[in-house]
Amino acid sequence: MKAKLWGVRGSLPAPYTPEYLEKKVRGLLQDYGEYLKDNAEGDVDGFLNQTERHRYQGFGGHTACVEISTDSSQLVIDGGSGLRRLGEKMMLGPAGLGRGEMHILMTHFHWDHIIGLPFFIPLFVPGNDIHFYAVQEDLEERIRAVFRKPNFPVPYEALPSKIHYHQIAARQPKAVGDIVVTPYELDHPDPCWGLRIENKGRVLTYAVDTECNRLSRKEMGEDAKLYENSHVLIFDAQYSFLEAAEKVNWGHASAPVGLDLAIREGIERVYFVHHDPAASDEKIMKSAAQTAEYFNKLKETYVKKNEPLPNVEWSFAPEGITIEI
Amino acid sequence: MKQFEVEAEQSGEQLTLRFSGFLNEEADFTQIPESQAQNVALNLEQLEGSNSLGLKKWISWITPVSQTAQITIEKAPPEIVNQMSILSGFVPKGAKVSSIFVPYYCDSCGHEENILFENGSGFVTGTAATKPGYRIDDRPCTQCGADAEADVLPEAYFKFLFQK
């Protein structure tokens, strides 16, 4: 099972400004000039290999969209702006011929998780079957509302594809092909569901968007199962720890919290997403450095007590990566 | 790690809370009795450390308390001072830090010891008129008498003094 991150920003798409892009390019060109003093001209690959990835690729600007795929099944989580590019890829296959079958699960309906829907080309191709899933009862109305004048010129009724709606039960497994997904409630200002996604014994936990106000297993109650016996966690780390502490009821968390959940539950890897739209690539890296400092000090505390922490791999995820679950 | 516990002692307008154990998501702040005390002293000497989940709980508890009482944090151990400086939020606005422990290490005999630094001598918190600061000198090792050094990166360790 794989998870490709088509959008990792939260709240609003965050394209680079021309000024910011120029600043990045200037910085790289200057460093390349320095690099050439000791290396062969034209060795761009060599230069990039020793340059931090965020400097030349960045974290991306599209909002939440994840493609889960196995050998035989595919499931899309959320329709943020990243869905547009995923749709373009799908159009290269059966969807482009009107023979596509797509499955999209909506965690909730905040703008950043639905803004890509009107630009999902397969919806506009006759013959395609599009299946939407959500726990929320008003799923169909929420999707219809996206295609409504004056906010979008093409009305829902004009969409030529066949659209199907499936309400799924909270905390009950639902199979989509050979992917089994179980929704658990997150802590967000409007109903939002985290997903436990399973295939062949491997488990991905998708916990976006969440403020993580319920911290202990007891406080989480039935929703604690979202994190139990999971191998990979994709977690909402929109803010720094202090920002999250100050923005009470804004609905988002921070990386140290995700890390501590992973440590408690024995999760192997954590990918932090839902980056703040106001955060530059450098600010995201600063959050990563702070998280590393926090983790190292925590490990020291535990080592002193002869209680070493389990090793957890983690990173702030950029758009476009594919995670092997 | 030991379970988080709190002992409360009230004397007139002063409430002293002594914390012990590890501050994590299991920390139960409901065990702290309600009080109208104007001054609340938080003795952290026996705290073993904290994770971010415990710190979230701490902030939820301490923020409303800090709005009605003068909080003083005393004898913060290194494990907590580190978190104060890395994650921020541990010391609410208006609270005073009266003392912290600084770890010292003696190269000569390998002895490790936490030395108490008090506000006004080892460090000073800033005011409207003065900047915060710290002073770290070598201290005689209590075991062998040789010079022991502070086992911290001072700028990182005392970062909490400069947070707004």
**Taking CB atoms and an 8 Å cutoff, what residues of chain B touch A241?**
52, 55, 87-89
Best CA proximity match to B6, nearest among B56, B53, B41: B41
pLDDT of residue B86: 87
Interface of A with B in 128-187 (CB under 8 A): none
User: pLDDT per residue over A310-320, tens digit each?
Assistant: 889 999 999 99
Cα A78 from chain centre: 9
Question: What are the residue boundaries of the structural domains of chain B, listed by start?
Answer: 5-162
Class in CATH terms, A2-15+61-320: alpha beta
Best CA proximity match to B54, nearest among B104, B112, B16, B4: B4
Query: Which of these CATH numbers, 3.30.750.24, 3.30.540.10, 1.10.645.10, 3.40.50.970, describes B5-162?
Result: 3.30.750.24
Among B20, B50, B51, B57, pick the best mutation site for testing chain A contact (most A Cβ within 10 A): B51
AA letter at A251: G
Scanning B87-159, the segments in alpha helix (DSSP H) are: 154-157
pLDDT of residue B164: 65
What number of H helices and E strands is found in chain B?
3, 11
AA letter at B12: G
Least Cα separation, residue A52 to chain B (angstroms): 23
> Is A257 in contact with B26 (Cβ distance < 8 A)?
no
Concatenating the DSSP letter of every residue in A146-211 gives HS-TTT-SS-GGG--SEEEEEE--TTS-EEETTEEEEEEE---SS--EEEEEEETTEEEEEE-S--
> Is A298 in contact with B49 (Cβ distance < 8 A)?
yes
Least Cα separation, residue A10 to chain B (angstroms): 22
Least Cα separation, residue B128 to chain A (angstroms): 23
Q: Is A245 on the interface with B (CB under 8 A)?
A: yes
Q: What is the mean pLDDT of chain A?
A: 96
Residue B89, phi-psi category: left (phi > 0), alpha (psi -120 to 50), beta (remainder):
left
| Residue ranges of chain A with per-residue pLDDT less than 50 | none
Q: Is A305 on the interface with B (CB under 8 A)?
A: yes
Q: How far apart are CA B75 and CA A318, in angstroms?
A: 42
Residue A72: CB atoms within 10 A of its CB come to 9
Chain A, nearest residue to B87 by Cα: A241
Question: What are the residue boundaries of the structural domains of chain A, listed by start?
Answer: 2-15+61-320, 18-56
pLDDT of residue A134: 98
Asked if A267 and A309 count as a contact pair (C-beta separation under 8 A), the reply is: no
Chain A, nearest residue to B49 by Cα: A301
Q: Which of A246, A257, A290 sits opposite B53 (nearest CB)?
A: A257
User: pLDDT per residue over B120-164, tens digit each?
Assistant: 888 988 877 888 899 999 999 999 999 999 999 999 999 988 876
> Is B87 in contact with A261 (Cβ distance < 8 A)?
no
**pLDDT tens string for chain B (164 positions)?**
899 999 999 988 899 999 999 999 999 999 898 888 899 999 999 999 999 999 999 999 999 999 999 999 999 999 999 988 888 888 998 899 999 999 999 999 999 999 999 998 889 888 778 888 999 999 999 999 999 999 999 999 999 888 76
